[in-house]
Structure 1
Amino acid sequence: MIDFDALEEEIKKGKINNSYIFCGLDEELIKEGVNLVVNSVVDKSMKDLNYIRLDGLNINYDEILNACETMPFMGEKKAVVIYRAEFLKEKTDSSNSKLYKEIEKYLKDIPPYTILIMYYLFNDKRDTAKKNKKLVSLDKISKVVHFDRLKKDRYYKKVEEVFKKRGKEIKKIEARYFAEKVPNNFDIINREADKIIAYTEGKEITKKDIDKLVLKSSEDDIFDLIDLISLRKAERAIDLLDELLFKSDQHMLIITNIENHFKRLYEIKVLKNKGHNIGSIASKYKLPTFICEKLVNQSNKFSFNQLKEILDICLKTEISLKSSSNDKTMELELMLFNIFMVK
């Protein structure tokens, strides 16, 4: 398995494989990798004829076979891309399992004029290529590329390029500040950049603008944690809690943030019940509308009684953390368990 940097080096040297499996969390970065390979093998003037995209969510083996076996039109190579190839997921239904076995066999016999690229998006940041047995197996007959986080200098440079491509200048200091505030995911970065560009039309981008529009990463993590709670995904919620503690071993800060988030959801639910719209709620809390929309949607996943009971659990945990000598991590995990028991 290789990463994006290694893929770029291979492409520069003219080393092109007959097939690739791309994987990772960042679809925008994966698409960049796809374009890198496609543009290196398919003539731009023939792209409409020699570049085929297939939806991996709704695909069968015959469609893949027909796309790969057809000769390129007036060119030496053609590229076939299967995006969001769900059959590469480790646990799938019987039809996707059958398709995976057919693809695994076919990868050994792809025509020399076809470059097949398949990509699969991980569910969350705890997924890795090495944990997926299918990807490990395919790495023996294809080239598996894991699109992980970019190294700092390259990451900063690419963030600057995001703004430049949109015709907006951003100074290096502000670009780095923005890069540190947003998750290292170019799908999110593109959306956040669009909001900042729209907000700062006709003026320079400042740190104040970035602070106003971009959620802090810790707030993002808490939001994700509450989302997992609302979806009843206990194991993943525990994993994320452990990750938060690993990042910052501050149990009181985490319980306070969780408690404040649930308080905000309760207050928003009350305001919505009184007929307030998104705009008035956003104004009250001095939040950008898009953040307020997320919070309203999240508050809808809980009833008033559930939120009251959860807040009571948070308060008891906070008191326990302050007054007892018990294992603090265990206290927080027990809090999550009790929250999951709320009906």
Structure 2
Amino acid sequence: MIDFDVLEGEVKKGKFENSYIFCGLDEELIKEGIDLIVKKNIEDSLLDLNCIRLDGLTTTFDDIMNACETMPFMGDKKVVIVYRASFLKDKTDSAGTKLYNETLKYLKDLPPYTILIMYYLFNDKRDTPKKSNKVKALDKVSKVVHFDKLKKDRYYKKVEEVFKEKGKNIGKVEVRYFSEKVQNNFNIIIREADKIIAYTKDREITKNDIDKLIANSSEDDIFDLIDFISQKKVEKTLDLLYELLSKSDQHMLIISNIENNFKRLYEIKLFIQSGERVDGIASKFRLPSFIVEKLINQCNKFSLKQLQKIMEICLETENKLKTSGVDKNMEMELMIFNIFMTK
């Protein structure tokens, strides 16, 4: 198993495998990895003939095998790309399991003129290929590439390139500040860059602009936590809670942030019930409209009564931690379970 940096080094040396499994959260980065391999193996004039793309959600084993077995046209290599190949994930239906087993067996007998690239996207940032039994099996017959976070200097440079490609210059200090605040995912980075470019128009980008439009990463974690709660994902909620506690032993601050976020959902729900529109709510909370839309989606998962009760649970937990010598982690777990039990 390798990462993007190693893959790039191998491509530069002209070293290629017969098949690759790409995985990660960042689809833009994965596509860049695919482009590196394609450009080194297929001439631009022959792309339509020797680069085959198959939708991993609808493809069949026969589709994959037929694409791989067909000889390249006027070239030495052909590349077959199976994108969003969800059958590579551990949890799939019977059809996905069958397709995975057939493909796993076929990878041992690929024609030498074919490079097969299949990729799938993680469900969230806490997934890793090492947790997947299917990926472990694939790693024995194929080259698995994990598209994780880029190293700092390379990350900053690539973020700066995103702005330059859109015709917007950004200072070195500002690009680092932006890079540290935004989630390290180029699908998200591109959207956030578009938002800042549209907001600043013809003037220079400042730190103040970035602060106005991009939430802190800690706020993102709390948003994710509440999103998992709204979706009734107990295990993911607890995993994120433990991660937050491991980063910082600040139980009171975490509870306060959770309570404040649920309070905001309660207030937004009241505004919605009174007929307030998204733009009006965005103006009241000084938030971008797309963030408000996400918050509305969250608050729709709860009733006003539930939100009131959840805020009470947070307050009770906060008081316990202040006034007694209880096990803080245990009380935080209990708080999460009580929130899930709220009706």
User: TM class, shorter-chain normalised?
Assistant: over 0.9
Q: Within 5 A, what are the aligned runs for 1:163-202?
A: 163-202=163-202
Residue of structure 1 in register with 2:276 after alignment: 276
Tell me the amino acid that sits aligned with residue 336 of structure 1: I
2: distance between equivalents of 1:291 and 1:37?
A: 37
Residue 317 of structure 2 is aligned to residue 317 of structure 1 = yes
Deviations 1:242-301 (A, max 9, x none): 111112221111000000000000000001111110111111111111111111111111
The one-letter code matched in structure 2 to 1:112 is P
Q: 3-state SS of the aligned residue for 1:53?
A: strand
Structure 1 distance, partners of 2:194, 2:14, is 35
Query: Aligned ranges for residues 1-343 of structure 1 at < 5 Å?
Result: 1-343=1-343
| Cα distance in 2 between the residues matched to 1:288 and 1:101 | 45
Q: How far did 1:126 drift?
A: 2.1
Cα distance in 2, alignment partners of residues 297 and 92 from structure 1: 27
In the TM superposition, residue 71 of structure 1 has moved relative to its aligned partner by: 1.4
In 1: Cα distance, 2:239 partner to 2:143 partner: 30
- Distance in 1 (CA, whole Å) between partners of 2:52 and 2:199 is 37
CA distance in 2 between counterparts of 1:131 and 1:259 reads 32
The letter of the residue matching 2:315 is L
Give the superposition deviation at 1:202. Answer: 0.6
2:45 & 2:330 partners in 1: Cα distance? 61
What secondary structure, in the 3-state scheme, does the structure 2 residue paired with 1:140 have? coil
Could you tell me how far apart the structure 1 residues matched to 2:167 and 2:252 are? 44
CA distance in 2, matches of 1:53, 1:60: 13
Measured against aligned partners, the alpha-carbon deviations of 1:174-198 in whole angstroms (never above 9, x if no partner) come to 0000000011111111111110111
Instruction: Give the deviation of 1:91 after TM superposition.
Output: 2.2
Amino acid at match of 2:227: D
List per-residue Cα deviations over 1:58-100 (Å, max 9, x = no partner).
1111111111111112221111111111111112211111111
Q: Distance in 2 between matches of 1:318 and 1:177?
A: 33
For 2:84 and 2:330, the matched residues in 1 are separated by 38
Task: Work out the CA distance in 1 between the residues paired with 2:337 and 2:289.
Answer: 32
Partners of 2:280 and 2:182 in 1: CA distance: 26
How far apart, in 2, do the equivalents of 1:142 and 1:263 lie? 49
Per-residue displacement from partner, 1:135-168 (whole Å, max 9, x unpaired)? 1111111100011111111111111111111111
TM-fit CA distance, 1:125: 2.1
SS at match of 2:59: coil
Percent identical among aligned pairs is 70
- C-alpha distance in structure 2 between counterparts of 1:92 and 1:292, whole Å: 33
Unaligned stretches of 5+ residues in structure 1? none
User: For residues 249 and 41 of structure 2, what CA distance do their matches in structure 1 show?
Assistant: 49
For residues 267 and 30 of structure 2, the distance between their equivalents in structure 1, rounded to whole angstroms, comes to 39
Match of 1:36, SS?
Answer: helix
TM-score of the two chains, using structure 2 as the length reference: 0.98
SS of the residue aligned with 1:223?
helix
- Deviating above 6 A after TM superposition, structure 1's stretches of 4 or more consecutive aligned residues are none
Query: SS in structure 1 opposite 2:178?
Result: helix
Deviations 1:215-247 (A, max 9, x none): 111111111101100111101100000111112
Secondary structure of 1:325's counterpart equals coil
C-alpha separation in 1, matches of 2:315 and 2:81: 51
Q: Considering only aligned residues, what root-mean-square deviation do their CA atoms show, in Å?
A: 0.9
Could you tell me which runs of 5 or more consecutive residues in structure 2 were left unpaired when the two chains were aligned: none
Q: Distance in 2 between matches of 1:91 and 1:284?
A: 42
Counterpart amino acid of 2:41?
V
Question: Deviation per CA, 1:101-121, whole angstroms, max 9, x where unpaired?
Answer: 110111111111111000011
Classify the secondary structure of the residue corresponding to 2:335: helix
Q: How many residues align?
A: 343
**2-side partners of 1:266 and 1:231: how far apart?**
17
The CA deviation at 1:342 is: 1.1
